[in-house]
Structure 1
Amino acid sequence: MALLIAGCASGRPVTGALIASQDSAPGAVEHTIFIATTRARDDSKGTYFSGERIEPGDDGAALDFASATVSVPPGHVPGAIEWPNAPPGDPAKDFVTRSAGYIDNADAFQAALKSELAGRKGEARDIVVFVHGFNTLFAEGVYRMAQSVNDTGFKGVPVLFTWASRGNLLDYVYDNNSATAARDALEQTLRIASASGAGKVHVLAHSMGNWVTLEALRQAEIGGHGTFGGKLGQVVLASPDIDVDVFKAQVRRLDSAKSEMSLLVSTDDRALDLSSRIAGGKPRLGSYIKDKEIAALGITVFDLTAVRTPDKLRHGKYAEVPGLAQLISTRLAAGDQLAVARTGFSDRVGQFGTSLGGFVGATAGIVITTPAMVLGAPAALLGRR
């Protein structure tokens, strides 16, 4: 039973996985990841942060910052993380850390983002914030962020929001509580990113990370700044470990973000099957079988059930299908065409779904259900919002 919920980690790093390598390799690609976290610092070499929660400071803030530059090997297989057998690894064949360090505070973090964005144009001025799921060590979050950015070809600035997961199968309840406790910190991170000079701030969340993401967006909406100054872009919810009824209650508050949302589901997700059993048999959103019901809420659904990947738990498909990685990238880049205005949104997202469905569905078995397909007309969509 425990193996079914290993879920959010594919391969495990060894102690000190982020020890920096002084070597480089021809053809390797480097990505600098900016990091906001609710994890406590860990002074162990090459570790940086543990799975324990940070103690709030005098100002009540429970958020710390860092950055890391990760090298992806020239022979990288899309969807995989080539973990080194021992750190720092061989950059010719492994993911390796080239540099890493703490950032002093929120002001310094925002200044670092501004500096990175300076001089960029178009899509390269966008930020994507990745929120990982259950059972994720700090190093796993960093390397998964680098892998996702590399495989999607995302041209903007990557930000990892990593909450205090212990990376242990038996700590499901602790992780869930850590995710809940991180709501304010994620909202603060999105505010910082939005004020950094970015064009758009996109969000990609996986598994339990969707819980903290939706809670942060919900409270931002209630607080009157749900668009984050008009900067909030696409929100991609991958394999959400969330009760379907809870999601419906959350999304009713998300008028600002809802039209920008994409949901990635797979009805054969074994990790979410066990999560459902733990939750009293209530279905989890990431394995829900009623795509049209969710699309009727104004959300585009990508059903990955027919997609086959090496992941035996079928919980990490979002990161393991090369065609899907490109689809997510296209989805992020298409934001202005999809949901800037409510009028006509249904038609535009319908065209988007039809065109990408022909391209991706033919190669990867992805089924796309859009609000337009369910509701038929913009007026009907607006009536449900």
Structure 2
Amino acid sequence: MCAGLILVLAGCASRPDAGALAVSTLQAPGATTHDILVVSTRERDDRPDTYFNGERAKSIDFAEARISVPPNHKPGNIEWPATLPGDPKTSFVPRQAGFIDGQTAFTSRLNQRLSALPPSQRTVFLFIHGYNTRFPESLYRFTQLVHDADFEGVPVLFTWASRGKLQDYVYDLNSAAIARDSLEKTIRLINHSKVERIVILAHSMGNWLMMETARQIPPSDRRKLGRKIERVFLAAPDIDIDVFKAQLKRIGRQPKPFVILVSRDDRALRLSKTIAGGKERVGAYENDEELAQLGAIVVDLTDVEATDAAHHSKFSQLAEFSQQVQKILSQPGVMEGAAGRETQLGSAGNDLGSFISSTARVAVTLPVAVVTAPINLATGNP
């Protein structure tokens, strides 16, 4: 069973390697570009159009990239180029890319970007990728999320030294452990910038990195940092359920609960469970109510039809509806665990259907064209 699962997760399609970020200068009417700031604990790669590999750097590094999304883009997908450099009319391609020379220059670039925006848009979206992820994959996935969510602030990718190989699970986990101090430094750096709000999204093993980083920050500093952090999304967390409970116990109940995206048919987490001695992973945990009682909001994506073989990237399909989901999460019934009250979404739009709050569960129906069944939100009392 394990061998068959590995074959499914490995897939048949080729993955981006050296030279995958070759810049294209071709014209592409209708294409949209996004400027991504990058913070990295990966080693620089001297090969052309590669920038970072999967080995560990001795210190934190910085870069930036302008990525073009093709006019034929389908929400939730990454249109990979068939040849290099890619064609911006049909594929994700870099328009510009390069390193940023140190923290001071990065901070200056971040503040310039924020200052150019009206206060209502001075939001930083920080993305932390997961296990088995190569640098181009993290960059393009984040661009897809930014694009589909119509995000108008400043996107910052935190990319740590994943080798992007299925067999290097332990190496990746150790790389995530090494990256904790750098992620803390990044969060503090962003918090001390001209930012008004911070939204954090972690995926897979990136959640372990996020939670361990939060755990190590002193409580008084967590409270200060939390004033600007609007929301933390934990997508498909590859965390041992017992470890997660211990992390939450140490961190304590937050005024803005973590939002956990789970799916019980996640094949990648099934493999992680096998590697980890059969311990349940948070992202595939079956007891939504138990997670909710720990102080989290749970978004159950089990019945959403996956577009990837591993069923591990359903969160990317939700990006298209991020604004509506944010409005739902801002409803008092969700954040405060209101019981026995029925509320209409109103400003969230008719396409989300109705918002029904009960003792422990909120049901939200998204368009059938995007998902095949309702997405369930479970929220515990604060």
Please identify which structure carries the higher strand content.
Answer: 2
- 1:131-184 deviation digits (Å, cap 9, x = unpaired): 001111111111111011011111211100000001111111100100111111
Q: How far apart, CA to CA, are the structure 2 residues paired with 1:96 and 1:350?
A: 46
Deviation track 1:26-57 (CA, whole Å, cap 9, x = no partner) reads: 000000000001001111110001100001xx
**Equivalent-residue separation in structure 2 for 1:256 and 1:291 (angstroms):** 17
Residues 24 and 91, structure 1, Cα contact 8 Å, conserved in 2: yes
Please identify which structure carries the higher helix content: 1
Q: Select which of 224, 230, 236 maps to 1:233.
A: 230
**1:157 paired residue among 154, 159, 178:** 154
**1:200 equivalenced with 2:197 (yes/no):** yes
TM-score computed with the length of structure 2 as normaliser: 0.87
The reply to whether residue 12 of structure 1 matches residue 3 of structure 2 is no
Whether contact under 8 Å (1:164, 1:178) holds in the other structure is yes
What code does the residue aligned with 1:128 have?
Answer: F
Structure 2 Cα separation of the partners of residues 226 and 184 of structure 1: 18
AA of the residue aligned to 1:19: A
For the residue of structure 2 that corresponds to 1:145, the secondary structure is helix
Q: Specify the code of the residue in structure 2 equivalent to 1:370.
A: A
How many equivalent pairs are there? 361
Aligned with 1:48 (options 32, 46, 51): 51
Q: What code does the residue aligned with 2:208 have?
A: W
| Counterpart pick for 1:272 among 249, 269, 272 | 269
Query: SS of the counterpart of 1:311?
Result: coil
- Larger deviation: 353-362 or 117-126? 353-362
User: Quick one: distance in 2 between partners of 1:160 and 1:137?
Assistant: 13
Report if aligned partners of 1:208, 1:242 keep a CA contact under 8 Å in 2: yes
Q: For 2:203 and 2:140, locate their aligned partners in 1 and report how far apart those are by CA, in whole Å.
A: 14
* Aligned partner of 1:360 among 366, 370, 378: 366
Q: Judging changes above 3 Å, is the alpha-carbon distance between structure 1 residues 177 and 21 closer, same or farther for their aligned structure 2 residues?
A: same
Q: Distance in 1 between matches of 2:356 and 2:119?
A: 25
C-alpha change, 1:214 and 1:227, in structure 2 (3 Å) is farther
Q: Does residue 174 of the first structure (1) align with residue 163 of the second (2)?
A: no
Structure 2 unmatched runs, 5+: 346-354
8 Å CA contact 2:76–2:320 kept in 1: the answer is no
Gaps of at least 5 residues in structure 1 are: 56-61, 375-380
More displaced 10-residue stretch of structure 1: 281-290 or 14-23 = 14-23
Indicate conservation of the 8 Å contact 2:41/2:160, yes or no.
yes
Bigger relative contact order (CA 8 A; separation at least 6): 1
Q: Of the candidates 31, 34, 37, which is equivalent to residue 34 of structure 1?
A: 37
Q: TM-score w.r.t. structure 1 length?
A: 0.86
Distance in 2 separating the partners of 1:239 and 1:10? 22
User: What one-letter code is carried by the residue in structure 1 that aligns with 2:283?
Assistant: G
Q: Which of 67, 70, 79 lines up with 2:67 in the alignment?
A: 70
Query: Partner of 1:328 in structure 2?
Result: 322
> Quick one: percent identity of the two aligned structures?
45
